[in-house]
Amino acid sequence: MGFVLLNIALLLGLIYVLIRMQQKHVSFSKRVFTGLGFGILLGTYLQIAFGSDSAVVSQTSEWYNIVGRGYVKLLMMIVIPLIMVSIIQSIINLEKTSQLGKMSFSIIGILVGTTAIAAVVGIGSAFLFDLNADQIQVGQAEESRGLYLEETLTQVEGMSTPAKILEFFPANPFLDMTGARATSTIAVVILSAIIGIAVLGVRRKQPEQAEIFVKGVNAIYTVVMRVVTLVLRLTPYGILGLMATTVAKTNVAGILELGKFVLASYVALAVMLVIHLLLISFAGLNPLTYLRKVIPVLGFAFTSRSSAGTLPLNISAQKNSLGVDEGTANMSASFGATIGQNGCAGIYPAMLAVMIAPSVGIDPLSPGFLLQLVLIVAISSFGVAGVGGGATFAALIVLSSMNLPVALAGLLISVEPLIDMGRTAVNVNGAMTSGTLTSRFLRKLNIERFNDPKAVEKDIAL
């Protein structure tokens, strides 16, 4: 217990340093990356001193999770209220309801389109590094994971794509507000959009009643955004706790054994980030300016491994530092948390399919196989939200659709957390890219704010 108390004291000491940095008005971005660095150092110390599987690290991580996972829970707490009031307010401020259709079509089109591109990138990386499932040794953990995936597949196989899409609709809005379903976020988006459209109709026939409702929504929106600001100020501390726990519990031996797959995955993820920046550049925006402003968000996505948990920071950064209009920011972040995830639903299942195909006598170089794989990845990236579960369910849907054995996906269990960090960052960046491009296409992007290098500090951190 003595070592655990020492480790807790170390964490509290680093938190105090971050508090002092805030008191000295050090910029938000610098404090975020300082927290990230502190977390890596603290986690490395725990890994070297005690070992990832030790009781000391396990007990220490439980305490550290109060800071790290506690912060994620606070973010999750404000997701539903933030989405609901923001989308309603955005719609009631629209001049025409047709703008909502254009916005939604553009966002979803970019998300699904970039996921198809991500599949091609994943395929290319798998071929470049000559990945093959037969190269991986199977242990007890891998066998258990494979059996779990086969059991889980039964939950997915019986649900067609139309059935998954049907799950988006909010049959019980109060249930969805609790986040009880995998599609709760999308369901709340749809409910909020319906309410916003209804207000536009009331405004034409009963303007006085509509005005009362609008004032109420604006008041609630102001309070919710203040709560968002308060929670986001805790970001440096949350990243510190999350990163320390992640590094301390990392299976180094597993990473070394599957190093080629880890490297191939991160090469593919890096290429996809470059493609996002190229799309930003093609829209007439400075990609380096964009990158500087989204790095704090990507840093949190990387450490938390939660697209949904990153959603409030995603929305705030789009509006306050990238100059994306409110409606587009909320729509892109909300849809991007479950639809068209470039990392989880694009790169990952495509790489697995190419790796596993030779084990069942399929030539992964066959044009028919590759074309079918890209199409299935793109379609399933839209339907994954119907069952939830991120990369695991995306892989199950793609592999089963290609008639490939899903159990072999369990071979990567030891490096899954490490790869998932990068996948989540790419997922979130894909959502932010779709929001920025859509706002630009609809001529709603605030270019002055986008180009303002101090926008992050002025509007998020203070």
Give pLDDT tens digits for 13-63: 999 999 999 889 888 878 888 998 999 899 999 988 888 788 888 899 999
* CB neighbour list of residue 134: distance below 8 Å, 6 or more residues apart: 358, 359
Spatial distance between the Cα atoms of 428 and 88, rounded to a whole number of angstroms: 23
Contact, 392 vs 171, CB < 8 A?
Answer: no
Most confident region among 22-31, 94-103, 234-243 by mean pLDDT: 234-243
Question: What per-residue confidence (pLDDT) applies to 140?
Answer: 43
Host domain of residue 434: 2-461
Spatial distance between the Cα atoms of 111 and 334, rounded to a whole number of angstroms: 12
- 234 phi-psi bin (left φ>0, alpha ψ -120 to 50, beta other): alpha
Q: CATH number for the domain including 16? A: 1.10.3860.10
Q: Does residue 158 register a pLDDT over 60?
A: no
Question: What per-residue confidence (pLDDT) applies to 255?
Answer: 66
Spatial distance between the Cα atoms of 462 and 452, rounded to a whole number of angstroms: 16
Question: What per-residue confidence (pLDDT) applies to 159?
Answer: 59
Structure tokens that stand for 59 in this block: 């007990």
Spatial distance between the Cα atoms of 166 and 94, rounded to a whole number of angstroms: 27
Spatial distance between the Cα atoms of 148 and 392, rounded to a whole number of angstroms: 11
Q: Does residue 440 register a pLDDT over 90?
A: yes
What residue has token string 């971050």? Answer: 18
Spatial distance between the Cα atoms of 55 and 58, rounded to a whole number of angstroms: 5
For residue 421, the one-letter residue type is M
Spatial distance between the Cα atoms of 203 and 200, rounded to a whole number of angstroms: 5
Give the total number of structural domains in the chain. Answer: 1
Structure tokens that stand for 43 in this block: 């986690």
pTM here?
0.80
